[in-house]
Structure 1
Amino acid sequence: MSHSWPPGEFSTSRLLLRKPHPADAEVQFSRLSGDAAVTRYLGWLCHASITQTRQQISHDLLRADRGAAWTWALLQQGSAAHDVAGFLQLTRHDHVLRLGYALRQSCWGQGLMAEAIAAVCERVFEQAWAWRLEAQCDVDNHASRRLLEKLGWCCEGRLRRGLVHPNVSSEPRDVWLYALTRD
């Protein structure tokens, strides 16, 4: 079954994945982008104000309009309209898509992100232009490593000084490069 790209809104057994909305900012700031534990291994600083979160949502929507990246807000089935549990983002580089994600602490350990990533991957590989998904995770981010390995992603190696995770250090840190390909 073919799905249009990018899928604007779709569901899994426990989640609704949809475009971020400006009205998501309050919950996203208080439970995700303003939470130091959630943002620890992301490539941007933990937000100090809701204004930063509003700007991030606007930026994500603009990149989607340009076809450069797509972000989905994750909501648990039956939750309130803007009760964002997390987000998942793909950034396109020709035939490769780079994956990033975050989940609020109260949802950790429930398999929700695995469910969301699996659903997005299924849709990605239905696209003739998409051949590879990549994710880079900090060498100390053991939860992300376990998640990607559980989903069948292959660890292709360690990238020395591969990414800056500013909530950990201002210096580039080593990361593991994971990939999933359509073969």
Structure 2
Amino acid sequence: MRVQDIYGDLPEIKTERLRLRKWKKEDLESLYAYGSNENVTKYVTWDTYSSYDDAERFIEQILQQYEQQQISPWAIEWRKTGDVIGNVDFVNWNIQDRRAELGYVLNESYWNKGVMTEAVKALIQFGFEKMNLVRLEAKCFEENIGSAKVMEKSGMLYEGKMRKYKYIKGIHQNIKIYSILKEDYDEHK
């Protein structure tokens, strides 16, 4: 398995309410809508967008990653309206160890509706069934209760807390780590 095998042409993934697809330049306003919201960016590693230029740079970077067949995020599209409401991706993928880490962010208007759990479950299925992974993990700031709930509802198990693991936004953050193994996934699918 090579990165190009998956990311040579990023596949579209459909769920009941969502379409996980490639980003497009036309998604700029949707990205800015949640990327400029401090409630959304409070628990991510990147800074809150202060202008459309920030969002435009992000989309340009993603489009380059697609072109270079690198690990890159899916836009989360709300199928009912066609609006992009977030993104989800494998933030890193260790092919030799057959493990990957999930990352995600969601527009605040869609919180507490099971939307991100739906997207994460789709990526978990994709990771185990298409990428031949044996382990998927995800991390969140200790204070990010919503993200921890997404991981738990997606079938991931809490492994522990890494104290002062990352220096983000001027603070050494405690990070919680969750994981799901292929055998856990097989048992509950």
Normalised by the length of structure 2, the TM-score is 0.84
How many residue pairs get aligned? The number is 174
Unaligned runs of 5+ in 1: none
1:37 to 28, 36, 39: 39
Query: Partners in 2 of 1:164 and 1:61 — Cα distance?
Result: 28
Q: Which runs of 4+ in 1 moved over 6 A?
A: none
Deviations 1:120-153 (A, max 9, x none): 1111111354222111111100111111111110
Higher relative contact order (CA 8 A, sep 6+): 1
Query: Partners in 2 of 1:67 and 1:97 — Cα distance?
Result: 17
| Larger mean Cα displacement after TM superposition, 136-145 or 122-131 | 122-131
SS at match of 1:110: coil
Query: Partners in 2 of 1:152 and 1:113 — Cα distance?
Result: 13
Query: Are positions 1:109 and 2:108 aligned together?
Result: no
SS at match of 2:13: strand
Deviations 1:14-60 (A, max 9, x none): 11110111111112102x11111111111111111111111111212
C-alpha contact (below 8 Å) 1:98/1:134 kept by paired residues: yes
Query: Partners in 2 of 1:128 and 1:109 — Cα distance?
Result: 29
Unaligned runs of 5+ in 2: 184-189
SS at match of 2:60: helix
What is the one-letter code of the residue matched to 1:5? Answer: I
C-alpha contact (below 8 Å) 2:6/2:131 kept by paired residues: no
SS at match of 2:26: helix
SS at match of 1:20: coil
What is the one-letter code of the residue matched to 1:27? Answer: S
Q: Output the aligned Cα RMSD.
A: 1.8
Query: Are positions 1:180 and 2:167 aligned together?
Result: no
Normalised by the length of structure 1, the TM-score is 0.87
C-alpha contact (below 8 Å) 1:75/1:85 kept by paired residues: yes
C-alpha contact (below 8 Å) 2:40/2:108 kept by paired residues: yes
